[in-house]
Structure 1
Amino acid sequence: MRPLIHRRRDQSDPAPSRAAYRMTRLWLSPLFRRLVTAVMPAALVVGGAAAWITQPAQINMVKSWTGDILASVEARPEFQIRQMAVTGASPVLAEAIRERLSLEFPVSWFRLDPELLQASVAELDAVAQVQVSVELGGALRIAVREREPAVIWRRPFALEMLDATGHRIAYIDHRDGRPDLPLVTGTGADAAIPEALALIASAQPIQDRLRALTRRGERRWDVILDRDQVIRLPETGARQALERTLAIHAALDLLNRDVPVVDMRNPGRPTVRLGPGAMEYLRLTRTFEQGLASQ
């Protein structure tokens, strides 16, 4: 009996192989299909480009190409700075700022670092505050707030102008260069400038006779008047001691007498040192009083 279905020996089995079946199922996965169709080609392109661009010849070509682009952009007129304006500074300080920055115009905006320029200008002693900005039209603007000199500090080998906080502004060659500023001397005087200015303000009644304030031992002040007259002040309460001295002077004309030193270091016991003329007058007075008493 013959079979109902007769197959030819050369007819292949229509069922897929196991490998083909697995590949088909894998291809149906969206993640695998995206990996094969997008990620792998992109990785091949990027890898090939990286291999090509890391060659020395290509690196030099890219550097030259980017350099030409940057140079063409920097050279455009809208990015050129042609001048610098310094405001709020004296002519001397403005010239010092220009010398410090040493900029040659025109210069590209891309070659300037405003923060670096601002830090460089702020290092100048006479500058209290500075703001650097680039304005439309190609101008570099440097707005400065200059320190105001308050006193002259005489050091062993130099004269310095200080502001009200004791910060150095500049050196000067001669005291006559700023006769309007009061003079302070002594080691550590720069650290006590606010107190010195308060004493100078209190000494207004004898301002025409005031010559200097001298710092002693970095602890206290001596007030130096003309005729080598000295008022020695205590470490604490110096202003009150000076005002008390001026009150005694107003009542007894103390500072117009032959009194080289008025010592107020002990507020409860002020003392004075008499000059030679006053000592001779006192000796004659005592001799006269003794002669009268012996009669």
Structure 2
Amino acid sequence: MEPRPTSRLSLLLRRLTVRLGSSRLGRRSASLLTIAVVGGFSAYGIMLGGHAETAKGIVIDVADAAGNVAGFKVKEVNISGHNHVTPAEILETAGIKSSTSILFLNADEMRARLEALPWIQSASVRKFYPDRIDIAVAERQAFALWQVNGELKVIARDGIPIAPYSDDPRYVQLPIVVGEGAQKKVGEVVDALARVPALRDQVRAAIRVAERRWTLKMRNGIDVRLPEEGLDEALVALMDLDREKKLLSRDVSIVDLRLPDRVVVRLSDAAADARAQMLKARAKAKKGGPA
């Protein structure tokens, strides 16, 4: 059910009367302004014929006009903490215009609207009578790139998409995660790889499989299938194998670490063909040898 304009009007008028009654205009001017506001709303309410949202906008505009007459027009807005979000976007989202009166600004509602912006993680709004507002925001940081449904998005550590990908230098070196659900666990895999930097530098992307486990796509084309549990242990084991046997430098296509007691390796197509030819040649030589 839409809110009735009269309830909003009553609240605004109570605030207006209290503020104006203590202002330099005095009680008589306050009463006159209040009557003007009541009359304006009554006339416009009749004309609107029940359009609550439009009426609400008119309520705010008329109330702002009355507050401005009383000396409560917003003249100064201090904004801090912004980097990706522009001051103009912050002002528009907060609902601050050149005609805004500080009397009728709801700081909690403004904060909620600002925190709904993808880049803004938290915000605070403080009103300083008669005419100043301070807005401080804390922005999310670009943490990784998330590829899903053919799109590449910049995401924060909490997985929230904050911007489409661009060739901004700040994004080029970000780790890449791929697939449905990958954004929800991005911190898990990025942190795990950070603990083995020699391996991390060889990884092109981490692919989320069935929202249960990761497969690492290495820069040389090898796929490393990781288990659902024991991610850190699997990465350490992989690094040990690479150090001891140069596993990631061999002509293989898949390294499967999902089984706890063994490592399964699949040769690349070229390597598999070469091995098949070698075995065939050995078998032929064996058949043609002395009886």
TM over 0.5: yes
Equivalent residue, structure 1, for 2:243? 250
Of 114, 131, 134, the residue aligned with 2:127 is: 134
Where does the alignment leave 5 or more consecutive residues of structure 2 unmatched?
Answer: 1-29, 38-62
Q: How much does 1:285 deviate? A: 5.1
Residue by residue over 1:28-83, the C-alpha shift from the partner in whole angstroms, topping out at 9 and shown as x without a partner, is xxxxxxxxxxxxxxxxxxxxxxxxxxxxxxxxxx9856335986664233x23113
- Which letter maps to 1:192? K
Maintained 8 Å contact 1:153/1:183: yes
Residue by residue over 1:205-247, the C-alpha shift from the partner in whole angstroms, topping out at 9 and shown as x without a partner, is 0333311100000100000112321100011112211221111
Q: Secondary structure in 1 aligned to 2:228?
A: coil
- Which letter maps to 2:143? A
Q: How much does 1:278 deviate? A: 2.5
1:273 paired with 2:255, answer no
Residues 178 and 136 of structure 1: CA distance in aligned 2, closer, same or farther (over 3 Å): same
Of 170, 192, 205, the residue aligned with 1:212 is: 205
1:262 paired with 2:255, answer yes
Equivalent residue, structure 1, for 2:34? 66
1:76 paired with 2:70, answer yes
State the distance in 1 between where 2:221 and 2:172 align: 19
Identity %: 25
Equivalent residue, structure 1, for 2:58? none
- Which letter maps to 1:181? L
**What is the RMSD computed on CA atoms of the aligned residues?**
3.0
Of 113, 123, 129, the residue aligned with 2:116 is: 123
Maintained 8 Å contact 1:185/1:213: yes
In the TM superposition, 1:184-223 aligns within 5 A as 184-223=177-216
- Which letter maps to 1:128? Q
- Bigger Cα displacement from structure 2, 84-93 vs 188-197: 84-93
Q: Secondary structure in 1 aligned to 2:97?
A: coil
Residues 98 and 200 of structure 1: CA distance in aligned 2, closer, same or farther (over 3 Å): farther
Q: How much does 1:126 deviate? A: 1.4
- Which letter maps to 1:75? V
Compute the TM-score of the two structures, normalised by the length of structure 1. Answer: 0.69
Query: How many equivalent pairs are there?
Result: 233
Residues 82 and 63 of structure 1: CA distance in aligned 2, closer, same or farther (over 3 Å): closer
Compute the TM-score of the two structures, normalised by the length of structure 2. Answer: 0.70
Residues 87 and 63 of structure 1: CA distance in aligned 2, closer, same or farther (over 3 Å): same
Residues 260 and 287 of structure 1: CA distance in aligned 2, closer, same or farther (over 3 Å): same
- Which letter maps to 1:66? T
Where does the alignment leave 5 or more consecutive residues of structure 1 unmatched?
Answer: 1-61
Residues 175 and 142 of structure 1: CA distance in aligned 2, closer, same or farther (over 3 Å): closer
State the distance in 2 between where 1:204 and 1:173 align: 26
State the distance in 1 between where 2:84 and 2:169 align: 20
Equivalent residue, structure 2, for 1:37? none
Equivalent residue, structure 1, for 2:92? 99
Q: Secondary structure in 1 aligned to 2:174?
A: coil
